Amino acid sequence: MDPIRKLEDSRSNGASEKYLSPYDPSATESRIYAAWEKSGLFNPDECVKQGATKADAPAYAVTLPPPNVTGVLHIGHAYEDSLQDAVVRYQRMRGKRTLWVPGTDSAAIATQSRVEKNIQKEEGKSRHDLGREEMVKRVAAFAKESEGTILSQIRRMGASLDWSRYAYTLDDARNKAVVAAFKRMYDAGLIYRGHRIVNWDPKGQTTISDDEIVYKEEQTKFYYFKYGPFTIGTARPETKFGDKYVVMHPDDPRYKEWKHGQTFETEWINGPITATVIKVPNGRASRRRRLAAALQRWCS
């Protein structure tokens, strides 16, 4: 029989139009996800309560890498969330007490920078024109709107997250947890306050962390100069003013007369004899900074 004629016959025989019409995801998927959420089975505690999972079943937990509220999700998030969702659903079907924790990240200065650009483009104003209080309000409003869009996008992807445990990195609970963690580390001597050179953004007029620095390689000059008998080589001559020590290989014959019988071992200086000695400024690169601190203790 002609397939078109067969389809027409099935319609004439009373077959439901619902199953013959093209699939409409916008009319179906939101309804299905709402039913999933209502069931409570994305929550491992609810799974145990409903008898879907044994109380003594092995636990399996994953934290969703919290997307930044600087904008909306992109194809990379869809790829990442789909992979995690597949693994989480697989473990849940295996009977494990499976938890997938959702959240979003304030992104701190990145979100502020995005809002500042929007204000400059739309109003021709800077954050200084608005004042601190108004700027904080604008950033909070932008973050809230972006957060809502992101959560809607994640739901539309069908991610089986336990929304009862949703967290935002700048909410009260997370703020208190961060402060408490830093206090415990400080009390235990694991972290400390100290003086060091920090990264300064001249345009944004703010400090930024090492992780937010974008490094760019360039062809530059290499400079040689002397500290008395010691030859120094560096691409950063401006750091000379912060130099406090020079370190040399103990077997370097050029500096034999300057040896004083003391050596300093570190994993950062373990290679062959080099053309120059190493200068150690106070607080430039983190390795040099730690080395300077160690030398300070050693020389005192």
- The H or E element spanning position 111 is helix 109-123
Higher per-residue pLDDT: 63 or 203: 63
Q: Which residue has the tokens 């004899």?
A: 273
Identify the pLDDT of residue 300. Answer: 47
Judge whether residue 280 has pLDDT over 70. no
Are 235 and 220 within 8 A, CB to CB? yes
DSSP state of 235: S
Domains of the chain by residue range: 18-187, 223-299
Are 68 and 110 within 8 A, CB to CB? yes
Judge whether residue 4 has pLDDT over 60. no
Judge whether residue 149 has pLDDT over 60. yes
Identify the pLDDT of residue 202. Answer: 87
Would you list the DSSP string of 115-180?
HHHHHHHHH---HHHH-HHHHHHHHHHHHHHHHHHHHHHHHHTT----GGG-EETTSHHHHHHHHH
Are 161 and 80 within 8 A, CB to CB? no
Q: pLDDT tens-digit profile of 152-180?
A: 999 999 999 999 999 999 999 999 999 99
Q: Which two tokens stand for residue 232?
A: 């120094």
Q: Which residue has the tokens 């999700």?
A: 73
Q: Would you tell me how many other CB atoms lie within 10 Å of the CB of residue 229?
A: 11
Size (the chain), residues: 300
Higher per-residue pLDDT: 139 or 25: 139
CA dihedral sign of residues 31, 37, 41, 42: positive
Q: pLDDT tens-digit profile of 206-223?
A: 888 888 888 888 898 988
Judge whether residue 2 has pLDDT over 50. no
Exposure string for 59-89, b = 16+ CB within 10 A, e = fewer = ebeeebebbbbbeebeeebeeebeebbeebb
Q: Let me know how many helices (H) and strands (E) the chain has, helices first.
A: 10, 10
Residue 198 has phi, psi (to 5 degrees) of -115, 165
Closest CA to 235 of 220, 247, 250, 245: 220
The CATH number that domain 18-187 falls under is: 3.40.50.620
**Residue 272 φ/ψ region, left for φ over 0, alpha for ψ in the -120 to 50 degree band, beta for the rest:** beta
Query: Region 92-105: what's the mean pLDDT?
Result: 97
Identify the pLDDT of residue 119. Answer: 95
Q: Which two tokens stand for residue 166?
A: 């949703």
Are 69 and 105 within 8 A, CB to CB? yes
Q: pLDDT tens-digit profile of 268-278?
A: 555 555 666 77
